[in-house]
A = this chain, B = another copy of it.
Amino acid sequence: MNQIMPYERLRAFTHSVFSAMGCSTTDATTATSVLLSADIRGIESHGIARLTGYVRLWEAGRINAKPTISIVHETPSTAVVDGDAGLGLVVAPFAMQVAIEKAKIAGTGWVSVRNSNHFGIAGYHAMMALEHDMTGIAMTNASALVAPTFSTERMLGTNPIAVAIPAGTQPPFVADFATTTASNGKLEILQRKGMDTPAGWVQDKEGNETNDAHILKNGGVMLPLGSDREHGSHKGYALGSIVDIFSAVLSGASYGPWAPPFPAYVPMPENMPGAGLGHFFGAMRVDAFRPADEFKAHMDNWIGRFRAATPAPGHEKVLIPGDPEREMEEQRMRAGVPVPESLVDELKGIGGKFGVEL
């Protein structure tokens, strides 16, 4: 059962929790905005359902509520940011803003981040570029749950990629996806419903196909986009690897199987080769390539033409990346966000701990 909560109520509560953890008002506002953007865009797995997880990481001393986030290296179009073990929800917007400022002068800006934590949904950060007439790119590595093609070992996270491209009269193009066949969030939905997964989402610890949505608890792994070699899993494996390398090897964060785990009860990997999680951000000024009006008119044409592509039988229309999330956002800002009763209880527990009422 779900309870429908107005956005404002979730906002006030989350802000109070981050403030109680010791975040500055500015940081609490940013972190709340990033975290809840997941709930209103329909990616509930990355939203307020993770608040307890962030609190536990803070209690375990793995999240610094008062970080000094800094640029440790830079060139005209690049920077490396050290997040000082801060909330990724705060470190990521800082780093994306650095990319945007670089792009204003150099045409593009590219920022690799070390010593951070989970940053919510990648799409939020990529979309920060849109109001500046820039294309935004955001990616992050994450706790290892995914086996490379031909392997049974957890070596990569679900390592998402987001790309946001401005348009004119059309809404922007916003792609935001895990580089696995299915996101962890979709797996969690099946777990709650007690349902099996489709073929090609997960593999058991011996490397056999399975439909068991709970297989990760028994040493199983998630599969890269493409599922198996015959269907291009080496491409999903390559994409997840590129995200890992750009986010963590380029910045000095911990990579591959050494990425720090999100659950605070999981011990940190031994011999970590870098500091914390890593992210990678890009901003490209549209008019660094062609006049913005001209580009936007062609993006409108692109989007209009793809939306009008012949639908397959049983489908009403072809979607543009970002359409479902934008429609969800409009609806939930108006009508409220459904929160499962079990999560409401969990949030009340956090509230009790900090003396904050939901």
Contact = CB atoms under 8 A, between A and B. Distances in A.
Number of copies: 2
A333 to B, nearest CB: 24
A230 interface: yes
Nearest to A201: B231
Given A150-B319, A226-B181, A249-B299, A306 B78 contact: no
A226 B75 CA distance: 38
A290 B203 CA distance: 37
Contacts of A177: 232, 234-235, 238
A309 B148 CA distance: 8
A241 B175 contact: yes
A168 to B, nearest CB: 12
A182 interface: yes
Interface string A135-155: 000000000000111111101
Contacts of A321: 234, 237-238, 241
Contacts of A302: 244-245, 249, 255-256
Given A238-B177, A241-B175, A290-B252, A317 B225 contact: no
Contacts of A110: 107-108, 284, 288
Interface in A174-205: 175, 177, 179-182, 198, 200-201, 203
Given A231-B231, A319-B234, A108 B309 contact: no
A73 interface: yes
A73 B151 contact: no
Contacts of A151: 309-312, 315, 318
Given A225-B226, A312-B207, A250 B198 contact: no
A173 B290 contact: no
A112 interface: yes
A116 interface: no
A155 B77 contact: no
A107 B77 contact: yes
A249 B291 CA distance: 11
A200 B256 CA distance: 30
A175 B149 CA distance: 14
Contacts of A289: 73, 78, 80, 112, 250-251
Given A80-B289, A107-B77, A284-B110, A306 B249 contact: no
A252 B155 CA distance: 40
Interface string A54-84: 0000000000000000000101111010000
Contact of A310 (B73, B149, B153, B317): B153
Given A75-B107, A108-B108, A231-B231, 7 more contacts: A73-B289, A148-B306, A151-B318, A175-B242, A181-B226, A237-B321, A256-B305
